[in-house]
């Protein structure tokens, strides 16, 4: 027999096995439906969970960026390591030229703001509390840092020069209300003390405990006068395009070229808690996935094995009339793969339906670590994860057929024939 004839005969045999496998799946509708449901539920659960993680990540990312970080921050080398020792040695002046270059050479910006950061004592009536002060460009920050919500009174951008905007919990501790006058006491660049009376125009709430409990904002130009400095140590930027990662490399080049003493930090480098929190969530989902896969695999193997045990007599007949063990195993494995593929595809559809039909409005979660306000999660279809989830489930559910296939291929023919009635 020539080679191509032999190959064709083998292909015919595989096609025949495939046809028989397909018919066997349809043979016991209820049992196949149970297996398909187990696989589909596992796939749907994994897709919904991944969409939840994506939603958490997206919302959390947005909140972090718009609370206090922007997409990137530009500082002088050493500022982040030494700022407490020499707080005013890293000032950046004339940053408007830097903005022009970034917009011209990298991408259009929706946010560019300099920030002064300092430690100061807030005094109201007989109460004094320390806090982190920020000298900000109020109008610019109000547009971009949308998580900073006015809790009482009005935003700093709507106040006069001598205004202060205080974290709502800090204001509560001071027992101050909008319209009250308070004093900010700081150490200046030269080491002397300086104080300024400011009107508290409002309180803010970000949901980030650290900010709400211990920080306040004043106009940057006032902070320059108060601290006796020029410029500010931090330049915060936000791109119009929210996919900021694609600009990072070019931004680094442009900033280094503009002034080699400057460095760029991505918001994730600054907000380490983001990666910690997401790592925590993803680990949980990973464990959940493993549990789902184990449960689904056990269910599939059990149901599949029950079906095969009922067909044991058939396998005995097949073996008796000359079917090789590997062909029996292949036929069962094909059934398993067909079933897992079909179940997984149904699961993708089911997952999509749950995300787009039942969870359209998202869910509200309790505050995550380091935050104080509930957190609304919108479920996002995990397009990038679907092929992997599909492949994983086809593989695992298909793989669940390996043991039954192996067992049935090794049955004692005489014993199996005895099952034919």
Q: Does 317 bind other proteins (CB under 8 A)?
A: yes
Q: Does 4 bind other proteins (CB under 8 A)?
A: no
Distance in Å, CB of 18 to other proteins, minimum: 12
Q: Does 357 bind other proteins (CB under 8 A)?
A: no
Please write down the HEC assignment for all residues of 343-378: HHHHHHHHHHHHHHHHCCCCEEECCCCCECCCEEEC
Q: By CB under 8 A, what part of segment 396-415 binds other proteins?
A: 413-414
Q: Does 282 bind other proteins (CB under 8 A)?
A: no
Closer to other proteins by Cβ: residue 219 or 319: 319
Q: By CB under 8 A, what part of segment 95-114 binds other proteins?
A: none
Residue from 191, 260, 322, 366 touching other proteins (CB under 8 A): that is 322
Longest dimension (CA), the chain: 104
Q: 3-27 and 325-353 helices cross at what angle (nearest 10)?
A: 50
Residue from 154, 175, 240, 324 touching other proteins (CB under 8 A): that is 324
Closer to other proteins by Cβ: residue 287 or 414: 414
Using only C-alpha atoms, what is the Rg of the chain? 32
Decide: 288 and 135 in contact? Cβ < 8 Å. Answer: no
Dihedral angle sign, alpha carbons of residues 135, 157, 213, 280: negative
List CB contacts of 240: < 8 A, sequence separation 6 or more: 107, 108, 109, 110
Provide the 3-class DSSP secondary structure of residue 134.
Answer: strand
Decide: 329 and 405 in contact? Cβ < 8 Å. Answer: yes
Closer to other proteins by Cβ: residue 16 or 288: 16
Instruction: Compute how many residues bind other proteins; rule: CB under 8 A.
Output: 30
Closer to other proteins by Cβ: residue 60 or 315: 315
Distance in Å, CB of 242 to other proteins, minimum: 55
Which positions from 5 to 34 touch other proteins by CB under 8 A, shown as an x/- string? xx-xxx-xx--x---x--xx--x-------
Residue from 325, 341, 402, 403 touching other proteins (CB under 8 A): that is 325
Phi, psi angle pair for 92, to nearest 5°: -115, 125
Q: Give the start-end residues of each E strand in 106-189.
A: 109-124, 127-136, 149-153, 163-167, 181-187
Residues that bind other proteins (CB under 8 A): 1, 5-6, 8-10, 12-13, 16, 20, 23-24, 27, 313-314, 317-325, 327, 413-414, 417, 420-421
């Amino acid at each position: 027999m020539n080679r191509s004839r032999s190959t064709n005969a083998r292909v015919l045999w595989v096609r025949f096995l495939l046809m028989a496998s397909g018919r066997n799946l349809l043979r016991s509708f209820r049992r196949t439906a149970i297996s398909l449901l187990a696989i589909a539920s596992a796939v749907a659960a994994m897709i919904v969970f991944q969409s939840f993680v994506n939603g958490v990540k997206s919302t959390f990312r947005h909140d972090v960026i718009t609370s206090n970080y922007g997409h990137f921050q530009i500082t002088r080398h050493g500022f982040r390591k030494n700022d407490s020792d020499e707080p005013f040695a890293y000032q950046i002046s004339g940053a408007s030229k830097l903005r022009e270059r970034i917009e011209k050479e990298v991408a259009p910006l929706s946010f560019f703001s300099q920030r002064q950061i300092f430690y100061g004592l807030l005094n109201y009536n007989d109460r004094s509390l320390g806090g982190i002060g920020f000298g900000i460009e109020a109008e610019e920050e109000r547009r971009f840092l949308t998580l900073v919500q006015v809790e009482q009174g009005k935003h700093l951008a709507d106040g006069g020069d001598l205004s202060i905007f205080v974290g709502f919990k800090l204001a509560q501790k001071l027992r101050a209300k909008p319209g009250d006058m308070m004093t900010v006491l700081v150490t200046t660049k030269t080491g002397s003390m300086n104080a300024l009376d400011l009107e508290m125009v409002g309180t803010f709430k970000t949901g980030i405990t650290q900010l709400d409990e211990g920080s306040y904002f004043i106009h940057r130009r006032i902070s320059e006068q108060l601290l006796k400095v020029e410029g500010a140590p931090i330049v915060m930027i936000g791109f119009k395009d929210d996919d900021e990662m694609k600009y990072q490399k070019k931004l680094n080049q442009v900033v280094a070229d503009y002034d080699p003493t400057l460095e760029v930090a991505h918001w994730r480098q600054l907000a380490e808690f983001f990666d910690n929190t997401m790592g925590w969530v993803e680990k949980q989902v990973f464990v959940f996935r493993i549990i789902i896969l184990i449960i689904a695999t056990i269910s599939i193997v059990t149901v599949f094995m029950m079906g095969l045990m009922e067909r044991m007599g058939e396998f005995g007949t097949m073996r008796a009339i000359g079917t090789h063990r590997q062909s029996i195993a292949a036929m069962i494995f094909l059934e398993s793969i067909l079933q897992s593929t079909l179940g997984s595809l149904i699961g993708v559809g089911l997952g999509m339906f749950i995300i787009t039909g039942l969870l359209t409005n998202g869910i509200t979660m309790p505050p995550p670590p380091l935050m104080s306000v509930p957190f609304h999660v919108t479920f996002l279809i995990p397009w990038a994860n679907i092929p992997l989830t599909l492949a994983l489930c086809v593989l695992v559910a298909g793989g669940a057929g390996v043991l039954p296939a192996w067992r049935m291929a090794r049955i004692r023919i005489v014993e199996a024939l005895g099952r034919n009635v």
